[in-house]
């Protein structure tokens, strides 16, 4: 018999206890929560009215989930990262059954926001079509939450999750993780990133932004890289990996950009300990005959560089929106929200170097405001989490009501 209270299923969340906080917040609003755990790391952080283990093979997941949603009369399924295999299949099952599918993600506008949408995120988001049609939500502006210093919390949660995930107790031997790695490798990578930042790049790149601006102001093309394991690259681009993107960009720049243009390739801060493309960039640049016109950096202040940038090249990074807000013409080479919404027109990369175009800052401001009120929730997944948990719970309840 159907209960009067909404039944909400939580799948995998951000690394750490955020989905436990969300479960508490949902319970406080009168819902019944179900947490489905896929591995020991999920189970360690799980808190809900019903904590359930999925221990079958990945092939059995869609049928298992369909049975669970029907038997428990579930109203909504919520997850973090709609491109993970388990979550993508859950979306299909939800659509077939008419169950609400809610996807969370890091904030499209950062810091101070997290993302929550019904139907999917990024290239799967319904927002661009709504923006084009002029049917976005006309709610008052939302201010971000002032949260700083969450990195150490994120590091600790990631380390703990991966250590516990690989602890083969309580079953889960059939679990297929969406990325490689284990607790030891995660810890070593985060530590490598810490030392790389504080012992190497901090000194090596001191004054780099000033030198770039002094020598190349107005002729800089910025290329912000994304995390190597970013699902937006894997699922929403034609690139097999970041290296392919780097190669195409450098070869195109060498052939088609003005000879006084300068290419700045910026490493993603969250990938600092996992990847290093410095040697690869140098070899490609030298082979393409533009070695002196390419800089690879880790810690450039983007706000400082934007003012002197002629164009920005990205796959589908959220930096693209930041660049447009600063008036920097931007091309996205993968499926991205700004491209789908028509504010970063599709162009040929070879053509872009000499003809980056202009930015309609009024349209960008309207897009940003609509994006925030429609898809963003103030808060953080990692520090002072209750702010985001309460906001997300209210949004989920509004969706299922």
Cα–Cα distance between 180 and 159 in angstroms, integer? 14
Least confident of 142-146, 165-169, 204-208, 339-343: 165-169
Nearest to 45 by CA among 390, 381, 394, 321: 381
pLDDT in tens, 276-329: 999 999 999 999 999 999 999 999 999 899 999 999 999 999 999 999 999 999
Average pLDDT over residues 155-169: 69
Query: For residue 166, what pLDDT is reported?
Result: 67
Average pLDDT over residues 165-171: 61
Pairing assessment for the beta strands 100-106 and 330-332 based on DSSP bridges:
unpaired
Give kind and range of the element (H or E) at residue 253: helix 242-256
Q: How distant, in Å, are the alpha carbons of 13, 22, 43, 88, 307 from that of 102?
A: 12, 13, 21, 12, 37
Cα–Cα distance between 339 and 330 in angstroms, integer? 10
Tally Cβ neighbours within 10 Å of residue 51.
Answer: 16
pLDDT in tens, 347-394: 799 999 999 999 999 999 999 999 999 999 999 999 889 999 999 999
Cis peptide before 311 (omega within 30 of 0): no
Query: For residue 1, what pLDDT is reported?
Result: 44
Q: In percent, how much of the chain has pLDDT > 90?
A: 73
Burial grade of 96 (CB within 10 A; 0-12, 13-18, 19 or more): exposed
pLDDT in tens, 59-97: 999 999 999 999 999 999 999 999 999 999 999 999 999
Domains and CATH numbers, the chain: 7-165+374-400 (3.40.50.20), 202-371 (3.40.50.2000)
Query: For residue 194, what pLDDT is reported?
Result: 82
For residues 159 and 45, which has the higher predicted lDDT (pLDDT)?
A: 45
What is the pTM (predicted TM-score) of this model?
Answer: 0.90
Q: At what angle do helices 85-97 and 61-71 cross, to 10 degrees?
A: 40
Least confident of 42-46, 111-115, 133-137, 268-272: 133-137
Contacts within 8 Å (CB) and 24+ apart, 180-183: 183/159
């Amino acid at each position: 018999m159907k209960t009067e209270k909404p039944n909400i299923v939580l799948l995998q969340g951000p690394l750490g206890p955020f989905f436990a906080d969300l479960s508490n917040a949902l319970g406080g609003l009168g819902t019944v929560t179900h947490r489905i755990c896929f591995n020991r790391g999920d189970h360690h952080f799980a808190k809900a009215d019903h904590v359930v283990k999925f221990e079958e093979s990945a092939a059995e997941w869609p049928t298992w989930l369909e049975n669970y949603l029907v038997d428990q009369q579930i109203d909504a399924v919520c997850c973090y990262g709609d491109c993970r295999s388990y979550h993508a299949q859950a979306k299909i099952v939800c659509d077939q059954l008419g169950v609400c599918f809610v996807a969370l993600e890091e904030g499209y506008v950062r810091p101070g926001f997290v993302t929550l949408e019904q139907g999917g995120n990024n290239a799967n988001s319904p927002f661009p079509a709504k923006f084009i049609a002029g049917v976005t939500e006309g709610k008052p502006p939302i201010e971000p939450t002032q949260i700083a210093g969450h990195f150490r919390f994120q590091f600790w949660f990631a380390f703990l999750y991966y250590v516990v995930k690989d602890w083969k107790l309580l079953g889960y031997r059939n679990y297929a993780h969406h990325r490689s790695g284990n607790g030891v490798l995660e810890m070593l990578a985060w530590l490598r990133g810490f030392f790389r930042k504080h012992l190497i790049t901090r000194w090596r790149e001191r004054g780099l932004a000033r030198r770039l601006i002094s020598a190349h102001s107005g002729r800089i093309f910025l290329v912000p890289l994304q995390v190597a394991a970013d699902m937006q690259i894997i699922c929403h681009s034609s690139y097999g990996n970041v290296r392919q993107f780097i190669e195409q960009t450098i070869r195109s720049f060498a052939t088609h950009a003005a000879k006084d243009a300068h290419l700045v390739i910026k490493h993603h801060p969250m990938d600092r300990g996992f990847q290093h493309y410095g040697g690869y960039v140098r070899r490609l640049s030298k082979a393409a005959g533009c070695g002196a016109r390419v800089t690879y950096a880790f810690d450039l202040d983007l706000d400082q560089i934007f003012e002197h940038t002629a164009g920005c090249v990205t796959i589908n990074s959220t930096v693209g929106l930041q660049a447009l807000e600063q008036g920097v013409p931007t091309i996205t080479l993968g499926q991205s929200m700004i491209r789908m919404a028509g504010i970063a027109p599709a162009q040929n990369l070879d053509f872009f170097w000499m003809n980056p175009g202009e930015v309609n800052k009024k349209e960008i401001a309207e897009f940003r405001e609509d994006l925030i009120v429609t898809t963003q929730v103030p808060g953080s997944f990692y520090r002072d989490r209750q702010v985001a948990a309460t906001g997300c719970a209210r949004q989920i309840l509004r969706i299922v009501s």
